[in-house]
Amino acid sequence: MAKHIKRTAGQYQRQIDGYTAFIPFDLPPNPPITFDDEMHHLLSRADRALGRLDGSVQSLPNPDLFVFMYVRKEAVLSSQIEGTQASLGDILEVEAQIFDPTRPNDTEEIINYVTALNFGLARLDELPVSLRLIREIHAKLMQGVRGQHATPGEFRRTQNWIGPAGATLRSASFVPPPPSELLRLLGELEKYLHADDRIPLLIRIGLIHAHFETLHPFLDGNGRMGRLLITFILCEQEALQRPVLYLSHYLKQHRARYYDLLQATRSEGDWESWIKFFLTGIAEVANEATETARLIVNMRETHRESLIDSLGKGAANGLRFLESLYQRPIFTVANVAEFLKISPQAANTLTRQLEDLGLVNEMTGQRRNRVFQYSPYVRLFTD
């Protein structure tokens, strides 16, 4: 493996209060990123994987149904990196309005992530990826949850730091730029967001993500916001038609290495190792998502055929409700009746038929107010 070129990525400056903060140089790195054979190979592999994923999702019968679950999976994983305990099942139950007193109380943070993502994608029709958009998305992300008192939607005006529990400014593992430098640095980052420096898109995104994490411009929510930024740039630049590439699964698996490589961009100017790690993750995650899309197409066809073969004249309602399960995989008999505009008795019969076919299973063990799940579909996102 080629060694990275020696460069200085910024400077540590002692502040008047006695601590030392890091002030990074602006992007792109200088000297430029070294494109050795390994870098070319990883970039080519990531580009191909991203293209396959985009094509696979566009070929789905209803791409938005795939996006629905994928967004929630990413929201769960990205939030878990920050310490939340709630699972994908918890979020689906909350959205299905199913009460469970044992559920972790941090589901709201994950629902905020979904809201922030959907809000940001809609805003891309009106605004480019910019400091204004980043602040608006952050406000949605942090509304009413842990960190809500840390000025949601506003860049910090006080010093923050990164370190283990109990760390202080003087013992922190990393201290981002002081507030006096932050707005200037963010202004330069915004210029780079719109610059045409002929660096390949995926490498640019890797640079931007790492630089954003170094600036740490908010008092809370920087990790989630930085990961969302990857998705927004991919969609804005039309590398993906829909938001289906998420790195949180990869970053959670390799969390220690992720943080070590980010720190190495600061302390050693080692951008090459970080970018190679980033490109490897993009290829891995894109290939996983492409396989999930393939499995959904096959599963949907198998389940449709099963309903047609088994339900006879009742297959039309069964097929209609099956489609709805891709967006609402947890349901009650009352939901079936309401969606299909049929009697509770008919809804109960259809639910029992779906259960007999192994398409859904009852989750609660109750005779009344039973809750069902389209388990084969949910398992594709939780296994």
- Is 239 inside a domain boundary? yes
Here the CATH number for the domain that contains residue 108 is 1.10.3290.10
* Residue that is last in its domain, among 271, 292, 313: 292
**pLDDT > 70? residue 28:** yes
- Is 375 inside a domain boundary? yes
- Name the DSSP class of 313: G
- Is 4 inside a domain boundary? no
| pLDDT at position 101 | 56
Instruction: Please report, rounded to a whole number, the percentage of residues in the chain having pLDDT higher than 90.
Output: 64
- Together in a domain, 194 and 340: no
Q: 210 falls in which pLDDT band (50, 70, 90)?
A: very high
Q: Which tens digit of pLDDT belongs to each residue from 317-357?
A: 999 999 999 888 999 999 999 999 999 999 999 999 999 99
- Together in a domain, 197 and 260: yes
**pLDDT > 60? residue 148:** no
| pLDDT at position 12 | 93
| pLDDT at position 78 | 83
* Residue that is last in its domain, among 273, 292, 311: 292
Instruction: Please report, rounded to a whole number, the percentage of residues in the chain having pLDDT higher than 70.
Output: 93
Our count of domains for the chain comes to 2
Question: Which domain does 267 fall in, by range?
Answer: 10-292
How, if at all, do strands 10-14 and 372-373 pair?
unpaired
**pLDDT > 80? residue 95:** no
Task: Indicate the pTM of the whole model.
Answer: 0.90
Average pLDDT over residues 114-121: 91
- Together in a domain, 267 and 330: no
Here the CATH number for the domain that contains residue 318 is 1.10.10.10
* Residue that is last in its domain, among 275, 292, 309: 292
- Together in a domain, 30 and 149: yes
- Is 5 inside a domain boundary? no
Nearest of 223, 228, 219 to residue 252 by alpha carbon = 223
- Together in a domain, 55 and 120: yes
**Phi, psi of 341, rounded to the nearest 5 degrees:** 60, 50
| pLDDT at position 147 | 53
- Together in a domain, 241 and 368: no
| pLDDT at position 314 | 80
Rounded CA separation 28/137 (Å): 25
- Name the DSSP class of 197: -
How many Cβ atoms from other residues are within 10 Å of residue 103's Cβ?
17
Identify any residues that bridge with 20 across adjacent strands, giving them in sequence order. Answer: 14
Q: Which tens digit of pLDDT belongs to each residue from 277-291?
A: 999 999 999 999 999
Rounded CA separation 266/214 (Å): 8
- Is 311 inside a domain boundary? yes
| pLDDT at position 266 | 95
- Together in a domain, 322 and 222: no
**pLDDT > 90? residue 85:** no
